[in-house]
Amino acid sequence: MQTAPDSTASPTAAAAHLPQVHLPRNEGMPLDLDWVAGVQANTSAIERRAATLPGRRSVKKDYQAAWLLKAISCIDLTTLSGDDTPGRVRRLCAKARQPVAPDLLDRLGMPGLTVGAVCVYHEMVPTAVQALEGSGIPVAAVSTGFPAGLSPWPLRLAEIGESVAAGAREIDIVISRRHVLTRNWQALYDEMRQMRAAVGDAHIKAILATGELGSLRDVARASLVCMMAGADFIKTSTGKEAVNATLPVTLTMIRAIRDYHERTGIRVGYKPAGGISKAKDALVYLAMIKDELGDRWLQPDLFRFGASSLLGDIERQLEHHVTGAYSASWRHAMG
């Protein structure tokens, strides 16, 4: 079955950074422990459903190219290495501005396509902000003692403030996993509320580190608590855990998003991160979002991939679509 997101029918809409309609932010709500306690997750059913997804969608030729262009617009192009340098970050930002060769984009009718954001450590925020000036591409900073989230609490809050002051428009925070593992939902809610307040006008993505939470039911409950506390996005992983984004976890989290939207009317975004490096995998995630949440979630204000190598594989697939030949991967370096 060949289908494509409605938004990819319009090159302008697919290439746009900002949504056509500015959604109200998730201001959160009082913690509803009865709702949290009632959340369940049928692990075997979720895993069976997830296992069918790669074979249920088959998009080819122009449809596939449209979906892949959509995926590019939703990438948080990321470098989170201990050996990051200003030069590497500037090169990554240049790639964010021009993620695909200009001649390919012209032939695809998509000049001006850019990624959704650039994600870096706090130390590199000023460099990224300067390199992206005038592009409209936001800088996202990982914060709050990333990736473990175990630094002193005052320092975690201060780190948020420093990144926002340096120009980061999005903050990816890490929750304290112990609150989920001990099912101390009040502590998780209170922590998230304080971090939400600290970001001010910037948007906050709550990283759950789902590979360390033990069960899909607790993934669902943690997702709900973070949304109640005001998270603008919920995100699977730091990319540093042994297990990062998976299809069962994604299905669990986006169904929590759907439930929250049905109850409150507020749309919360979703970001799978870690381990998504192939174009074919990106197509599966996009199809799942379309099926479970609808086309509106296929815009970069509600969906992001946390990735770097994914872009290179997508670019190779697009070049094959246009020219009929695959290019060497070294021609699509990220930085």
Residues 271, 281, 290, 313: which is the catalytic one?
Answer: 271
CA separation, residue 39 to residues 32, 179, 260 (Å): 11, 17, 12
- Catalytic annotation on 172? yes
CB atoms within 10 A of CB 21: 8
| The 139-143 sheet, strands edge to edge | 269-271, 233-235, 203-207, 170-174, 139-143, 117-120, 75-78, 305-307
Say if CB 29 and CB 228 are below 8 A apart: yes
Determine whether 271 is an active site residue. yes
Query: Where is 233: in which H helix or E strand?
Result: strand 233-235
**Residues contacting residue 113 through CB under 8 Å, at least 6 positions apart:** 14, 15, 69, 72, 73, 99, 100, 105
Query: Is the CB of residue 189 less than 8 Å from the CB of residue 222?
Result: no
Catalytic residue among 172, 218, 301, 313: 172
Just list the catalytic residues. 172, 235, 271
